[in-house]
Amino acid sequence: MRQLAAVAAVLLAVSACAAPAPPRSEAAPSPTPAGPAVLPAPTGDRPVGTTVLYLKDTSRPDPWNLDAAARELKVTLWYPAGRRDGERAPYMTAKESELLLKGARIASAPYDTLSRTRTNAVEDAEPAGRKLPLVLLSPGFTKPVSTLTSLAEDLASHGYVVAGLDHPYESYATTLPGGRVAACLACDSDSDPGFGAGLVRGRAADVSFVLDRLPSAWDGSRVVDFSRVAMAGQSIGGASALAALAHDRRVRAGIDLDGTTYARFPKGGLSRPVLFVGSPEHVPGGRDASWERDWKLLTGWRRWIVLKGAEHQSFTDAPLLAGALGIKPVPGTLPAARAAELTRAYVAAFLDRHLKGLERPLLDGPSPREPEVTFHQGSL
């Protein structure tokens, strides 16, 4: 069920949770990798801090590790901080980088390359602000949530608290307390019937547990307004955002970044706001019909946009890391910097509108300033 995405889109195998895709040509590795990758600076005016929490849900066993009587979760928080100076947080550990590159079969750079990626967030900085909206973030299958760091940092710089979930045993590597590393046990099951639907149900349960625990588990939770919560994700993470929207009424709005939808909505439809942002495989009549199937069940505010030249990983940090991995982009794909710019802009506009009540004309329809963006299926 898994398949390789274009190497230019980087970081790997597109999983069962991506839309089905035709074979794509692979780009040849560059002779030598560039220096360490540097994530683009956030576009907001607030400094960004980050910290990590480890939570344990003793009410249910882990769905993948039969030896684990409780579900453990790693939650990375990004938020407006009170200062800009300080040690920048690591992108991932050297071991996580090694296991991710090995799992993705990328051998064009040293295995610790991603651990040297430069981020913009200050590690364990004191949170600043009050009554800030909360955005939950979920990554694609086999990926850690760190592959959405550029988006998370940007949202935090605009006054959001972002809680990124790592779902253990669904990624090539998740570091847990005590230095334990959870490998991808779910990777052996991704061709099973009903795999995608089961995965998003489990992730929706993870989201509800984090919303239950975050107010008491994080010392900085005083800055969060838990009445204003949305969720976004890429690939199966996007599908999980819609599953959480249908499962937990505390989630007020959802964003699916290029993910096949698996959740089943109530018979009366789903009335909360939804944004689809995808690659050309998600055009009406395209290879992934799930958005067309579910579009008519979205009875509230909705938008469906497609980015010309985008690939499945264009909505993650993957293209931004390609040079450091010694990988050349495939001609005709959306440039990495532009993909990050558009993803950040449309996600922030949606959240500003539905969590902050701000007008954002970017969402009203096509614009000559964004020629790559097409609005679909009567979304205006």
pLDDT (tens digit per residue) in 259-318: 999 988 888 899 999 999 999 999 999 999 999 999 999 999 999 999 999 999 999 999
CB atoms within 10 A of CB 266: 10
Beta pairing class for 71-80 and 161-166: antiparallel
> 236: which 2 tokens?
């199966």
pLDDT of residue 264: 85
Q: Where would I find the H helices in the chain?
A: 94-103, 149-157, 195-217, 236-247, 290-295, 318-321, 336-355
> 120: which 2 tokens?
């913009």
Contact 108/327 with Cβ under 8 angstroms? Answer: yes
Closest-CA residue to 166 (of 192, 194, 190, 137):
137
pLDDT (tens digit per residue) in 134-156: 999 999 999 999 999 999 999 99
pLDDT of residue 20: 32
pLDDT (tens digit per residue) in 166-201: 999 999 999 999 999 999 999 999 888 899 999 999
Q: In which band, very low, low, confident or very high, does the pLDDT at 25 lie, cut at 50, 70 and 90?
A: very low
Phi, psi (deg, nearest 5) at residue 174: -130, 120
CATH of domain 3-375: 3.40.50.1820
Instruction: Kindly state the helix (H) or strand (E) to which residue 80 belongs, with its residue range.
Output: strand 71-80
pLDDT of residue 329: 87
Calpha distance 19→257 (Å, rounded): 11
Q: In which band, very low, low, confident or very high, does the pLDDT at 32 lie, cut at 50, 70 and 90?
A: low
Q: Is the pLDDT of residue 18 over 50?
A: no
pLDDT (tens digit per residue) in 320-340: 999 999 998 889 999 999 999
> 321: which 2 tokens?
């890391």
pLDDT of residue 191: 85
pLDDT of residue 379: 57
Calpha distance 82→305 (Å, rounded): 36
Calpha distance 226→217 (Å, rounded): 14
pLDDT (tens digit per residue) in 86-136: 999 999 999 999 999 999 999 999 999 999 999 999 999 999 999 999 999
> 213: which 2 tokens?
């625990």
Calpha distance 155→80 (Å, rounded): 9
Q: Is the pLDDT of residue 12 over 60?
A: no
Closest-CA residue to 200 (of 130, 147, 256, 261):
261
pLDDT of residue 267: 84
